[in-house]
Amino acid sequence: IALGGGSNIDLAKALCLTLPAGATIRSFIGRIDSATPVLPLVAMPTTAGTGSEATPGAILVDPDNATKIAVMDNRLRPAIALIDPEFTFTCPPRVAADAGIDALTHAIESYVTMDAAAFDFGDDPDPGYSGRTALTMLFARESIRLCAEHLRRSHTATDPVAMREARVGMSHASLYAAMSYGSAGLNAVHGIAYAVAGLTDLSHGTTNAVMLPYVLDALRDVRRDELLTIARLFGIDDADADVAMARLPVVLRDLIGALGVPVTLEACGIREADLDTLTRDALAVTRLAKAFPVPDVAQRYARIVRSAWSGELSFDEGRAHPPLDVQAA
C-alpha cells in the first residue's frame, strides 16, 4: 500500500519488484521478463499531479550520476487507485502548485506526442507507453481544461470553499492526465527536465515547468491544431490562429512565474557552459527523445535548451497583449 506523493508511490512500485525477487532495482532497468513476479499495489495519492497511481512506470534517481531512470512494466500499474481529493486538502500551496504543473505537463505532452501508428515499439509486445490515440487525447483535453480552471487557484485560494473546489478539480485533472500519458507516453519536456534535475536537484514539477513553454514553442510547425486547441482552453481568443498559438507559450510562462517557479534555465542555476552537456544528457533518454514528433530531434533539443536558458519565445518581440488571467479562463 502506497500513501503519499509520486515519489512514495514510485518507491512502492520498486519494492513490488525487489521484495519478491530479492534483487536490487538496477537489475530491472530496461525490459522486465514476463516471468518476474510483481506484487499487487494499492496507491492512494496525497498530491494532485504525478499520476503514478495509474501509470506503468517508477521514476528513480541513479545515485551514481543523479540521472533519473525509469523502471517500466504494465504490471507496475497499481491494482487499485484510491483517489480522494480530501487527501490533498492539507498539501502546502507550493507543493500543490508543483504537483499541478506536473499534471498540466503530463496532459499537454501526451496530447502532442507521437501518434500510436508511428510509435516505435521495438520488440516489446506490451510496452508501457505506445503513443497517443483518440482516447488518450480525450482524457488529455479534459485535464488541460481543468488545469486552466483550477491550477492557479489551487495555489493561491485562501477561502476554504474555493480551495476545496480547486483541489478537487486538480485531483480530477491529475487522474485524467495519467489516463492519457499512462498509455500515450511523454517526450521532450520530461526528457530535458530529467537532465535539468540531474544538474540542479530541483523538484520534478519545477524542472518540467521551466521547459514546457519552450518545448511547445518548438512544436508550432508540427502540432498546429493541437496547440490552437490548448490555446483556446486557456482563453486565448485571438482570431488569428498563428497569433493564438504563439501566445500560448507566453501565457504558460506567465502562469508558471505566477506560481513562483523559475521560468528560465539560468534562473534554475544552469550555466551557459553546461548547455551542451545538458542537451546530450537529455537526448540520452532515448525512450522520450524518440517520441518527440519532429524530424530533427537533436537540433530541436539544442534550440529548446538555448531558448530556455535565455528565456526567448517566438512571440516575445511582438507581444501586443497583456498576460491572461488564467484563473478566470
Please give the grid coordinates belonging to residue 285: 533518454
Which pLDDT band holds residue 324 (cuts at 50, 70, 90)? very low
* Cα(39)–Cα(16) distance, integer angstroms: 5
* pLDDT over 70 at 329, yes or no: no
* Cα(89)–Cα(198) distance, integer angstroms: 31
Of the ranges 2-6, 155-159, 174-178, 301-305, which one carries the lowest mean pLDDT score?
A: 155-159
Q: What is the mean pLDDT of residues 44-56?
A: 96
For domain 90-328, give the fold: Dehydroquinate synthase-like, alpha domain (1.20.1090)
CATH ID of 2-85, from 3.40.50.300, 3.40.50.1970, 1.25.40.80, 3.40.50.2300? 3.40.50.1970
What pLDDT is stored for residue 319 in this prediction?
Answer: 57
First and final C-alpha spacing in the chain: 38
Q: What is the pLDDT of residues 156-195, one digit of tens each?
A: 998 999 999 999 999 999 999 999 999 999 999 999 999 9
Q: Where in the chain is the domain with CATH 3.40.50.1970?
A: 2-85
Q: What is the pLDDT of residues 240-265, one digit of tens each?
A: 999 999 999 999 999 999 999 999 99
Q: What is the pLDDT of residues 76-117, one digit of tens each?
A: 999 999 999 999 999 999 999 999 999 999 999 999 999 999
Name the residue among 50, 30, 45 with its Cα closest to residue 208: 50
* Cα(195)–Cα(301) distance, integer angstroms: 12
What pLDDT is stored for residue 161 in this prediction?
Answer: 95
Do the bridges between strand 68-72 and strand 57-61 make them parallel or antiparallel, or are there none, so unpaired? antiparallel
Supply the DSSP string of 135-178, one letter for each residue: HHHHHHHHHHHHHHHHHHHHHH--SHHHHHHHHHHHHHHHHHHH
CA atoms 323, 169, 197, 291: torsion sign: negative
- pTM of the full structure: 0.93
CA atoms 38, 39, 42, 44: torsion sign: negative
Which pLDDT band holds residue 126 (cuts at 50, 70, 90)? confident
Is 89:45 a contact under the CB 8 Å cutoff?
no
Q: Where in the chain is the domain with CATH 1.20.1090.10?
A: 90-328
